[in-house]
Copies of this chain bind each other. A is one copy, B any other.
Amino acid sequence: MHNIRQIPLFAKLDDASIDKLREISSVHSYNVKEILFYEGDAPIYMYILLSGTLRLYKTNFKGAQIFLHTFRPINLVAELANFESMPYPASAEFSTKGEVMRIDYKKLEENFFKNPDISISIIKSLAAKLKIMSEVITNEVVLTSEGKIAKFLFENEKLFNELKQTQIAALLNITPETLSRTLGKFKKQKIIDSNAANEINIINKDLLSELFS
């Protein structure tokens, strides 16, 4: 069983509060590909991701998924929908097995929001999400495909060779073809090269970083 005090948000609660919290919350397990909530659903619970990874995405007019972010534990998920009493702005799907703590939001608000430790945690969580959103906007609106690829490569050189190109393309919301062609271009420009095992190496980090920014 999870110890509630391991959740930073609740770390400093006294015993009575923890008991109260147990009353209004429960823990649920999910399997790979199960959906925690869909974009447009009305929120009742506030979710805290306890284990596993959760993939957040929006769906566009033709049904394609636009990847936004993957959450790792321990993290509040989509608290915005709770605070603003609005439908979830995106869908969340488990990309591994995982668990969430599910809390009756109304009761949480009534009982715990006066607590300054909790409100500071919430501020931090909101600020972190705002930062994520700001990066999503940079990636999806400001940068071209070339810029997105350059940025991802620059920031995740090691990860790049651990993932398949199809997976990277999905993270960047581009097609594998575009990724392949762009990498070919980078090789021609001597920004990167690849060895026999087809692993990619950055040769000119400065040139690479000029492509986004």
Q: Which residues of A contact B (CB under 8 A)?
A: 58-61, 66, 68, 79-80, 83-84, 86, 89-90, 113-114, 116, 119-120, 122-124, 126-131, 133-134, 136-138, 140-144, 147, 173, 212-213
Contact = CB atoms under 8 A, between A and B. Distances in A.
Nearest to A122: B123
Contacts of A84: 127-128, 131
16 contacts: A58-B137, A60-B141, A61-B142, A61-B213, A89-B134, A90-B134, A114-B116, A116-B119, A119-B123, A122-B123, A123-B123, A126-B130, A130-B130, A136-B137, A141-B141, A141-B173
A126 B126 contact: yes
Contacts of A79: 127
Most B-side CB within 10 Å, residue of A124, A136, A141: A141
Contacts of A113: 120
Contact of A143 (B61, B136, B140, B212): B61
Contacts of A80: 127, 130-131, 134
Contacts of A173: 141
Given A119-B116, A137-B136, A141-B140, A127 B83 contact: yes
Contacts of A127: 79-80, 83-84, 126
A17 B149 CA distance: 49
Contacts of A131: 80, 84, 86, 89
The 5 nearest A-B residue pairs measured at CB: A133-B133, A126-B126, A83-B127, A89-B134, A119-B119
